[in-house]
Amino acid sequence: MKESDAVVLVAASEVDANLYHASGFLAGDPVIFVERGGRRTLALWDLELARGRKEARVDRVVSLTDLARKSGSRNSADLIVRLLGRMRRATVPENFPLGLAIALRKRGVRLRVRPDPFYPDRQVKSSQEVREIERTQRATEEAFEAALEVLRRSRVRGDRLLHEGRPVTSESLRRVLHVALLERGCSARNTIVACGDQGCLPHCRGTGPIRPGRTIVFDIFPQSETSRYYADMSRTVVKGRAAPAVRRMYEAVLEGQELGISKVRSGVNGRDVDAAIRTRFEELGYRTERRNGAWVGYFHGTGHGVGLDIHEPPWLLKQRDSVLPEGAVVTVEPGLYYPGVGAVRLEDMVWVGSRGCRNLTRFPKVLEV
């Protein structure tokens, strides 16, 4: 962004990582952040004013009530103009509210949209940030162990699993995961526990009974309620004996993931990591193609950055050039999906170094439980 531009962010920092990164203040309702001449200002209504002055990592916290009184308006555009002073140029992120942008332009403010990453430095994690991500990951692994214990203790009754006399379902396993995460100071939404062909839809959360002998894809991506940092892990298991075709597919995904991890280092294009895995899957006989109107094989990206957002730059995708910087934390999560056989996805988080990467995920990979 140009040095002559101000920076304007308007959002609820509880769901907007850029604003939380800029201010260090957690708010469930929209607040106004303006950076001008190197000074960062957070504007809050009086309800949040005292807490903001105590918690925010900015140069000053001002009262929107006072600004509204001085400007004679409570309209957000008028309040932002007041904060900008004589400045009439501002840089905003891609998700800046459209209505507010129109209102600011009507007031003579020239807006420039900066594409993601709005704050490029967010890609490079400090040692403290890596520790926070690892803390969230340890909670993830402990919660997954609790869900696996339910599977281990369950009994096969025909085509069903029973645990303590009740059917084991995607919903019941997800509840075990979420409760365990809450007990560890983390929260999760849209956790995936998808059995059989449900797992062949990579973002299907999963519903209904868990079947013995079928693949079960777990994808767990909670956020710490204190640090706000995410973790992300996927594992695939089978309760009982896996079919030979499933075991072969599992070994192929494991080989592909290990290949991808071996190629992650700073300066590498994430697109090349993705391409290496795809090539290996083709060599092993796993083609990606349309069958009966749906994709099979490997039809999603290899990975993404993890931090204050669950999906953030840099990327490991065939559609995008993205050079991996030293200090980034990224996932490596290949998968194969063939209805009738099942789905396998394995995902670890790694820290990107100059000579390779360090795996932040400790949980073992075991197919049969």
Q: Dump pLDDT digits (tens) for 10-67.
A: 999 999 999 999 999 999 999 999 999 999 999 999 999 999 999 999 999 999 999 9
Which strands, in side-by-side order, build the sheet including 357-359?
312-316, 303-305, 329-332, 348-352, 357-359
| Listed residue (105, 106, 96, 113) closest to 30, CA to CA | 96
- Delimit the CATH 3.90.230.10 region(s) of the chain: 123-359
Q: Measured in whole angstroms, how far is the alpha carbon of residue 327 from the centre of its chain?
A: 17
Q: Which CATH number fits domain 6-118: 3.40.350.10, 3.10.150.10, 3.90.180.10, 3.40.50.720?
A: 3.40.350.10
Q: Please check the confidence at residue 292 and state whether its pLDDT lies above 60.
A: yes
Compute the mean pLDDT over every residue in the chain, rounded to the nearest whole number: 97
Length of the chain: 369
Q: Of all residues in the chain, what percent carry a pLDDT higher than 90?
A: 98
- In the block, residue with structure tokens 């991890």: 261
pTM strictly above 0.85: yes
What is the sign, positive or negative, of the torsion defined by CA atoms of 342, 348, 352, 357? Answer: negative
- Rounded Cα distance between 314 and 320, Å, is 10
- Rounded Cα distance between 16 and 10, Å, is 9
- Delimit the CATH 3.40.350.10 region(s) of the chain: 6-118
- Rounded Cα distance between 46 and 97, Å, is 23
Q: Dump pLDDT digits (tens) for 345-358.
A: 999 999 999 999 99
| Listed residue (86, 95, 92, 94) closest to 112, CA to CA | 92
Q: Please check the confidence at residue 1 and state whether its pLDDT lies above 60.
A: no
54, with CB counted inside 10 A (0-12, 13-18, 19+), is exposed
Determine the average pLDDT of the residues in 317-340. 98
Torsion angle defined by CA atoms of residues 156, 162, 168 and 172, in that order, rounded to the nearest 10 degrees: -160
Q: Dump pLDDT digits (tens) for 96-153.
A: 999 999 999 999 999 999 999 999 999 999 999 999 999 999 999 999 999 999 999 9
- Rounded Cα distance between 25 and 50, Å, is 12
The number of beta carbons lying within 10 Å of the beta carbon of residue 293 is 5
Q: Of all residues in the chain, what percent carry a pLDDT higher than 70?
A: 99
Residue 332 pLDDT grade (very low, low, confident, very high; cuts 50, 70, 90)? very high
Residue 2, pLDDT score: 45
First to last CA, the chain: 52
Please give the class, per CATH, of domain 123-359.
alpha beta
